[in-house]
Structure 1
Amino acid sequence: MIKLLKNLSVYKWIIFSVFGLVFVQSMADLFLPTLMANIIDKGVVVGDTSYIWKIGGFMLLVAALGAAASVAASYYSSKAAMGLGRDIRRKVFHHVEQFTLQEFDEVGTASLITRTTNDITQVQQVVIMMLRMVISAPIMLVGGVIMAVSKDAKLSLIIVAIIPVLIGLILLIQSKAMPLFRTVQKRLDQLNLVLRENLTGIRVIRAFNRESEEKVRLKQANKELTDVSIKVNKVMASIMPIMMLIMNLTVVGVIWFGGIRIDHGNMQIGDLMAYIQYVMQIMFALLMASMMFIMVPRAAVSAKRINEVLDMKPAFPDEGTGKADRERGTLEFDRVTFKYPGAEESALSDISFTAKPGEVTAIIGGTGSGKSTLVQLIPRFYEVTSGVIRVNGVAIREASQEEVRSKIGFVPQKAVLFTGTIAENIRFGKQDAAQEEIEHAARIAQAEDFIIKMKEGYQERIEQGGANLSGGQKQRLSIARALVRKPDLYIFDDSFSALDFKTDAKLRAALKEETKHATVLLVAQRVSTVIDADRIIVLENGRMAGIGTHEELLNTNAVYREIVESQLSEEEIA
């Protein structure tokens, strides 16, 4: 918690102002009961009307000053807390952007969202409370005790007796609530996870008529969160009634013994009324402290989760400083082996090949052979276990990640589009792309036909995730996004799977001319997609089962021939 609160240093003058305003408010609140006692004892009892008007007017001024200070303190404390939340969210977001896919897999997307939203909100709320109460509660407590003792020292024995009881109660409630707060955040993570999976996988859920099962799953996650939240709220709800009971019993005791002291002439009526007000202030100060002691541990749990993200270091740092342009457009795998974190066996083993500009290198293999894993190593989404990958003649570890990725046009297996216009999505590959470049890329990607048929053309809005487009349309826009970049290396990770054979053939023909000065790495399931490649790499169980042209592999490689025979007829093979 303290580590996060250090981010408040930029708001130090606002915080000092809040402390000053809270001090003024507290002094005003402590002064008012004494003024009221003076009005009763020196005005009402003796019938001095002018004194009543005089002190009454002064009380109004003091109350107005306290109210103004309270409003200003609330405004500035909120400003500092909201600013802190904004800064931490920005810090978390920028830090998470540096994560490798390994960290995303470790923490989980749902948990990262919860930590960036709910957890930071918890910290914000506590900061507002702390800025108001960390000064106010001690002043009201100590000041209330001093003022109460000044009115009647013997009657203050009641306060001495009751304060340990209240402190013990606060510590007991805190010990009960702390573990529950941790559980609440974990259950919230789980609920977010289930909800996110339901929303993103709604088509699959409906296609398999699994709505009822998913409702049960969500109901279970919701019930678990509800149950633990009810437990927390029961603990929290018990504070106020118990505190009010103790407070009222204390007031009854003060009136009882105060009445006896007035009867004996040891105390005046005004002093007793002021004393009751001071007791109430002491109790409320303890109540505020108890709320702070409850909320701070809850925020501490959230702060710990936020710090876990901020303290998490990427599995491999971006320490490269070199330029990836010694041999423009080349890609080399030199005895590359890769194992996923925690896995027993390697996903890729001893992969070696070289791809040069103007060539198309295709990768084919069965499901789970390591095709997508291989291409994800090139932009350094994961770090190779051993071996070296070189882009433009420079090992990707020696060049910065930004430099390496700037040379790559990557089209992922699953087309990902963003909310915005079609032009904005294509321009995502090159921010300063002119409209002519966008249209050219769309034309090569065979996307122009469906774009011009849309009402707004290139300004047509795309819904979240491209929900208003077909799978083939999304793939073609993803390809156009890579083409507009004009990179040295194109990576197509099974990017033609949603295209019909005619569009696939037209696209490959257009790409051949467009990418003649660049290296093309093509991952595909279809033999027809890779048949014209300059080099075909056959993967089996993470190892290279063969490399060569279609004709060479067809005659010499059993694995490749089996793949071909499963897709093409004897006449097509011949």
Structure 2
Amino acid sequence: MLLKVLKPYKWYALASFLLVVGYVSSMLLQPRYLTNVLSAVLNNDQEQIYSIGILLLIIAGIGLLCGGINTIISAHIAQSVSADIREETFKKIQTFSYANVEEFNAGNLVVRMTNDVNQIQNLVMMLFQVLLRLPLLFIGSFILAVQTLPSLWWVIVVMVILVGVVSFGVTGTMSAKFGPFQAFMDKLNGIAKENLRGVRVVKSFVQERQQYAKFRQTSDELFELSLFIGNGFAVLQPILMLVSYMAIFVSVWFVSTLIKTDTDAVSSITSFVTYLMQIMFALIMVSFMGMQVSRALISLKRIQEVLNTDPAMAFKTTETEDLEGTLSFEHVTFTYPNDDSPMLKDITFEAAAGQTIGVVGATGAGKSTLAQMIPRLFDPQEGSIKIGGKDLRDLSQETMRQTVSIVLQKAILFSGTVADNLRQGRADADQLTLERAAGIAQAAEFIERMDDTYHSHVEERGNNFSGGQKQRMSIARGVIGNPKILVLDDSTSALDAKSEKLVQEALNNELKDTTTIIIAQKISSVVKADKILVLDDGRLIGQGTHKELVQTNDVYREIYETQKGKELE
């Protein structure tokens, strides 16, 4: 995956590599010429000291320039790649069905698009700024160190082996902890998100202490894990530094024994120690980067899981069709993911174009599930659902969205303006269309009283509107596109009786050709429907008009009498 997202920036990557080569070459050449400077000092050769000093400054300047430019290019690549991955991940999530989102969990997906993408961004930054440098620096320093003092080659080998053993042991232990670390991050984010979304409930029931206790427990678990990982880093660094200083001590001690027989060893020891430190630096950075890379690879895997997940529902065609508003369920059975028992069981009914169909039943009978099947938010495991005589699974997404509109039980608005929210039902709606839809939903009365009317600001989740106002705006959004089938999933529950009656009358007058499916808790909402479906425990146990069901269906009659339905006649 990483190679794929880096491909558009291959020329930047090549430039970064060449700059890294220039930077590393500068680091390797400086100790080499430093040996010559020390020899000139011992020989009191002022001219050579001056010329080599100027050359060292030029080499250092080139290295500094290469390093600075490479940092800029690395940052550009890292930022670009992270933006691409974040956008691609979000785009992929938009293709998910309800089942996919529930499988991952919304909070988990947010963490993957933020924290995990940031880890990948850090990995790319390290790759071009540090990781490309380390193998070149290690190999170059090793070769030049051996050339400088060939008799001490074994010191380098022993140091590399010791560092490798220590690093492998510590990083192996730490790497196993990064998976649980991300899981705790997901859990902590979920708790915080849930608490902030339900802040009104928390305040109303004085649950601050309980919410804090829940958050603190998870936070403490994350802290303990973070502390364990941090202690690993804390232990690793002094051990590696101890190994490097021991290597320097051994090198100096052996060189001191060579002074009498090899006077050039004095000038060479500084360069040798410098190369030794560069080797050590490369090994230490590999150890520390190894942990960061391990964490980033886990994040990369988590992003890959999202991108490789196939939507639970797929649209076979992109062809747009103009369908009639007929609707039929044919022996439909549906079970939610991870549930054992079906929510809908062998449902069969038909609705002619322009009819109003009411759906009633006790809580948990499957009314909202049936509503969500119509716009194909879920697919049935058995049976088929047809619109205009065609199976939903054979229609394009565009055809579905043009034909069916749903107003969900929970009214959800997005930050922006009133017009922005209404245009989610029809992107090209003009002002007259907005006003017509708002009029049908009885939302015009409060929208037009606001200072900026349809350009008035809507806060996140519509928190600056009442429940009834949000429902009416949701209904306006649902009807603005003149759908052939309109599904109202208990979407007038927050309205008073007068407003609900006005909405129903406007729907009957303005959308005469639209097939309307009304999911309701109150019999009064569906008493005038052309056909009423009665659900009980996921089964369709009766269908007919209000008068027919009162006489023939015990469940409907019980609901009717409980709500004093006789007063509605």
User: What is the TM-score normalised by the length of structure 2?
Assistant: 0.97
Query: Which stretch of the first structure deviates more once superposed, 393-402 or 489-498?
Result: 393-402
CA contact (8 A) 2:416 2:459 kept: yes
CA contact (8 A) 2:318 2:397 kept: no
State the one-letter code of the partner of 2:413. Answer: L
CA contact (8 A) 1:325 1:394 kept: no
1:352 aligns with 2:348: yes
CA contact (8 A) 1:325 1:393 kept: no
Q: What residue is the counterpart of 1:523 in the other structure?
A: 519
State the one-letter code of the partner of 1:166. Answer: V
Correspondent of 1:557 among 530, 553, 556: 553
1:177 aligns with 2:188: no
Q: 2 CA distance for matches of 1:415 and 1:262? A: 86
Q: What residue is the counterpart of 1:16 in the other structure?
A: 14
CA contact (8 A) 1:28 1:65 kept: yes
Q: What residue is the counterpart of 1:29 in the other structure?
A: 27
Q: What residue is the counterpart of 1:145 in the other structure?
A: 142
Q: What residue is the counterpart of 1:416 in the other structure?
A: 412
DSSP 3-state at the match of 1:354: strand
Cα offset for 1:323? 4.7
CA contact (8 A) 1:359 1:520 kept: yes
1:49 aligns with 2:46: yes
Q: What residue is the counterpart of 1:68 in the other structure?
A: 65
CA contact (8 A) 2:438 2:473 kept: yes
1:203 aligns with 2:203: no
* Deviation string, structure 1 residues 434-476 (Cα, Å, up to 9, x no partner): 0111011111111111112222221110110001110000000
Q: 2 CA distance for matches of 1:368 and 1:401? A: 29
State the one-letter code of the partner of 1:431. Answer: A
User: What is the TM-score normalised by the length of structure 1?
Assistant: 0.96
CA contact (8 A) 2:532 2:544 kept: yes
Q: 1:220 to 1:202 in 2, by over 3 A?
A: same
Q: 2 CA distance for matches of 1:129 and 1:454? A: 52
DSSP 3-state at the match of 1:390: strand
CA contact (8 A) 2:524 2:565 kept: no
Q: 1 CA distance for matches of 2:125 and 2:238? A: 24
Cα offset for 1:569? 5.9
Map 1:468-483 onto structure 2 (within 5 A): 468-483=464-479
State the one-letter code of the partner of 1:553. Answer: L
CA contact (8 A) 2:149 2:265 kept: no
State the one-letter code of the partner of 2:94. Answer: E
DSSP 3-state at the match of 2:73: helix
Q: Which runs of 5+ in 1 are unaligned?
A: none
* Deviation string, structure 1 residues 268-315 (Cα, Å, up to 9, x no partner): 432111111111111101112112222221112111111111221122
Cα offset for 1:319? 1.7
Correspondent of 2:233 among 226, 230, 236: 236
Correspondent of 1:449 among 433, 437, 445: 445
CA contact (8 A) 2:37 2:49 kept: yes
Correspondent of 2:161 among 158, 164, 172: 164
Q: 2 CA distance for matches of 1:324 and 1:397? A: 13
Correspondent of 1:113 among 110, 113, 126: 110
Cα offset for 1:405? 2.1
State the one-letter code of the partner of 1:463. Answer: E
Q: 1:533 to 1:99 in 2, by over 3 A?
A: same
Map 1:123-138 onto structure 2 (within 5 A): 123-138=120-135
Map 1:475-514 onto structure 2 (within 5 A): 475-514=471-510
Q: 1:266 to 1:47 in 2, by over 3 A?
A: closer
Q: What residue is the counterpart of 2:535 in the other structure?
A: 539
Q: 1 CA distance for matches of 2:279 and 2:362? A: 74
* Deviation string, structure 1 residues 533-557 (Cα, Å, up to 9, x no partner): 1111111111112111111111111
Q: 2 CA distance for matches of 1:354 and 1:221? A: 51
Correspondent of 1:79 among 71, 76, 82: 76
> RMSD of the TM alignment (CA)?
1.5
Cα offset for 1:131? 2.2
DSSP 3-state at the match of 2:482: coil
Q: 2 CA distance for matches of 1:363 and 1:319? A: 30
CA contact (8 A) 2:408 2:491 kept: yes
CA contact (8 A) 1:426 1:477 kept: yes
Q: 2 CA distance for matches of 1:569 and 1:243? A: 82
* Deviation string, structure 1 residues 23-54 (Cα, Å, up to 9, x no partner): 11101100001111111212x22222222221
State the one-letter code of the partner of 1:9. Answer: K
1:339 aligns with 2:335: yes
CA contact (8 A) 1:324 1:392 kept: no
CA contact (8 A) 2:523 2:565 kept: no
CA contact (8 A) 2:320 2:398 kept: no
State the one-letter code of the partner of 2:24. Answer: S
Correspondent of 1:98 among 77, 95, 99: 95
CA contact (8 A) 1:177 1:232 kept: yes
Identity across aligned pairs (percent)? 37
1:436 aligns with 2:432: yes
State the one-letter code of the partner of 2:100. Answer: E
Q: 1 CA distance for matches of 2:568 and 2:547? A: 10
Correspondent of 1:275 among 268, 272, 283: 272
Map 1:456-471 onto structure 2 (within 5 A): 456-471=452-467
CA contact (8 A) 2:327 2:351 kept: yes
Q: 2 CA distance for matches of 1:573 and 1:283? A: 87
Q: 2 CA distance for matches of 1:4 and 1:562? A: 62
1:317 aligns with 2:314: yes
Q: 1:95 to 1:541 in 2, by over 3 A?
A: same
State the one-letter code of the partner of 1:31. Answer: L
State the one-letter code of the partner of 1:21. Answer: L
DSSP 3-state at the match of 1:497: coil
Q: 2 CA distance for matches of 1:6 and 1:264? A: 58
Q: 1:316 to 1:437 in 2, by over 3 A?
A: closer
Correspondent of 2:245 among 233, 248, 251: 248
In the alignment of these two chains, the number of paired residues is: 569
State the one-letter code of the partner of 2:384. Answer: V
Query: Which stretch of the first structure deviates more once superposed, 216-225 or 395-404?
Result: 395-404
Q: 1 CA distance for matches of 2:143 and 2:64? A: 23
Cα offset for 1:70? 0.8
CA contact (8 A) 1:363 1:524 kept: yes
Query: Which stretch of the first structure deviates more once superposed, 541-550 or 265-274?
Result: 265-274
Q: 1 CA distance for matches of 2:461 and 2:269? A: 69
Q: 1 CA distance for matches of 2:234 and 2:561? A: 71
Q: 1 CA distance for matches of 2:419 and 2:270? A: 74
DSSP 3-state at the match of 1:397: helix
Cα offset for 1:324? 4.6
State the one-letter code of the partner of 2:28. Answer: L
Cα offset for 1:573? 5.4
CA contact (8 A) 2:524 2:568 kept: no
Cα offset for 1:235? 0.8
* Deviation string, structure 1 residues 122-154 (Cα, Å, up to 9, x no partner): 111112212233331111111111111111111
CA contact (8 A) 1:324 1:393 kept: no
Cα offset for 1:401? 2.6
